[in-house]
Structure formats: C-alpha cells, structure tokens
Structure 1
Amino acid sequence: MSRLDSMLRRLTAQRDGLNWAAEQTADLAGDALDMGLGNGRTYDHLRELLPQRRIWVIDRQLQCHPSCVPPEQDFLQGEAEDMLNRLSDMNRPVVMAHYDFGFGVKEKDVAEAARLSPMIAQVMAPGGVIVSGQPLVGFQDLDGPAGIPEGRYFFYRA
C-alpha cells in the first residue's frame, strides 16, 4: 500500500472514529479533549462535531493553521504529563478524548501512550470514550465503528 493510501485510510478511520465517539457520548455531560493539536485538522473537526462542548487542547507548541487556533483559555501548552495533571486539578470531566501524541517512531509512540494512560484516566469521566492512534492501557477496549481495520485506530471506554 502506498503511503498516500495509508494516510487516507488513517484519516478516514480517525474521522469515522471521532464521529462514532460523539454519538456514543451524546448523552454524557462533560468536556472533550484533543491531545496533540498539530496543524489543527482534528480540533477543527471536533469544533464542528461538538459545538455544545468545551474542547481542551494539549500540545507542546501552538503551530496550527491560523483558522484552527483554540481559545487561549482552552489551550494547555506544555509537556503532556504536566498538562494532563493540570487538567485533572481543574476537575473538568472529559467524556470524549482524542489521543494523537507521537514522535513518529512506533516503539517510542506506543511506550509514551502506555506511560500517559494513567494520567489520561485521571481526566476521563466514567463512561467517557477515547479515540486513539496508539494503544492505551487500563481502559475497556471497544470495537469502535464498523469498517475500520483492526489496529488502525483504537477505541476505549473509561
């Protein structure tokens, strides 16, 4: 499979997973969380998908497209561990989260996701759903939406 086809499959799985998670959490009260702003495509989709929810964003740097800059009060800039702890201290229950932190090295990305999993658990509301590009630990595995190949994206309930 070409890298272009692989990227298209990943982005389609991400979008379909986020849409599915929004449906799964529609009746839950709480916020959303985007871990890894990047250029802002996912955050932009979440704003459209979840206009009724506050969307927290965590990233080391603000370097997204100008149209995708989150409100200053919702952007937690810094290292993931520190920002997850900060969000936990705010006592804002997260009912839907997207995990997209990464270094671009699979083994390193998987280890980081496992290391951050307990801190993610601290901010999640019971019953909340996590859509993740990496495997997380300590959460209930969910099947997610139909049509996403196993291992392409991961779905969890807190």
Structure 2
Amino acid sequence: MSRLESFRRRLNAQIDGINWAIENIGETEGENTNAIQGDILEMGLGNGRTYDHLREYANRRIWVIDRVLQCHPSCVPPKADFLQGEADDMLVQMAQRGTQIAFTHYEFGIGVSDVDSAEATRLAPLIKAVMAPQGLVVSQQKMPVMTQIDGPPTVDPDRYFFYRNA
C-alpha cells in the first residue's frame, strides 16, 4: 500500500472512530442518564483538523494537549483549554485538579513505530488516571493498561485502537 493510500486509510479511521466515540459517550444535555460524564481530551493538536471535527460534532468541553501551538488559525482552542507542554506534566495536573474525561483521542506520534509505541505505553497510565468510568479512548497507538474493545466495523482493528476505561 502506498503512503498516500495509508494516509487516506488513517483519515477515514479517525473520522469513523471519533464519530463512533462521540455517539457512544452520549449527550450530557437533557435527561440522558446513560451518558458518560466528563469532557473530551485531544492529545496532539497538530494542524487542528481533528480538533475542528470535535468542535463541530461534540457538545462538550475539549481539552487539548500539545507541545506547541502551530495549528491553522481557525482551529486555535480557547487559552483555558489548551495545555501546552509535555503530556506527562499536563495529565498529572489534570488528575490533580480532578478533571474527568469521557473520551480521549490520542494522536501523538512521529511515525517511528518503536518510539511512538514507547510513548503511548508510558502515557497510558496517566491517561487512565483522568478517564471517567467507562470512558473511551480512540488511539493510533496501543494502550496496554486499557481494556481494548471493538470499534466501528469500518475501521481495521490494526489501524486504530479502541479502549474503554473499565
């Protein structure tokens, strides 16, 4: 498969995975007692495309963690919701404040499998510490401390990974 085809496959997996997670955490407005309580966490802002998608379709506060703010000008998160710095430190601060996350989209990575996998393995316990009970993680990397579940049938299980905080 060409890198271009792989890129298209990743984008389709992101869209389908994010939409699936938004639907599965439920709406917190109204009388929906089955909704998973908490905010959304976007890990890796990059250009801001997935953040923009979350803003469009999810009706919750969206926290963003990244080392630098270099996204498209239309995708800049509010200052109060952008946590700039190392993810370890930001996740610890969130846990200390009692922030509860219903859905995390994990998109960190430089494209080097061993490096990306090691970072996800290191961050997974810190992510778990801020996740609401039954919260969902959609990730391009494996999260060994999470309970892996099936995501949408349109996403190859080796392309994107889906977890529930059990």
TM-score tier (shorter): over 0.9
1:120 is matched with: 127
Structure 2 CA distance for aligned equivalents of residues 115 and 148 of structure 1: 25
Structure 2 CA distance for aligned equivalents of residues 31 and 58 of structure 1: 13
When the two structures are aligned, how many residues end up with a matched partner? 157
Structure 2 residue identity aligned to 1:15: I
Deviation (angstroms), 1:121: 0.5
1:8 is matched with: 8
2:50 is matched with: 42
Structure 1: gaps of 5 or more residues = none
Structure 1 residue identity aligned to 2:22: A
1:140 is matched with: 147
Deviation (angstroms), 1:137: 1.2
2:113 is matched with: 106
Structure 2: gaps of 5 or more residues = 27-34
Deviation (angstroms), 1:15: 0.6
Structure 2 CA distance for aligned equivalents of residues 104 and 83 of structure 1: 23
Instruction: Please state if 1:24 is matched with 2:48.
Output: no
2:31 is matched with: none
Structure 2 CA distance for aligned equivalents of residues 134 and 78 of structure 1: 20
Structure 1 stretches (4+) deviating beyond 2 angstroms? none
Structure 2 residue identity aligned to 1:151: D
Structure 2 CA distance for aligned equivalents of residues 147 and 7 of structure 1: 16
8 Å CA contact 2:65, 2:85 repeated in 1: yes
String of CA shifts for 1:107-144, please: whole Å, max 9, x gaps: 10001100100000011001000000000111111110
Q: Secondary structure at the match of 1:107?
A: helix
Q: Secondary structure at the match of 2:65?
A: strand
CA RMSD of aligned residues (A): 0.8
Using the size of structure 2 for normalisation, the TM-score is 0.92
Using the size of structure 1 for normalisation, the TM-score is 0.97
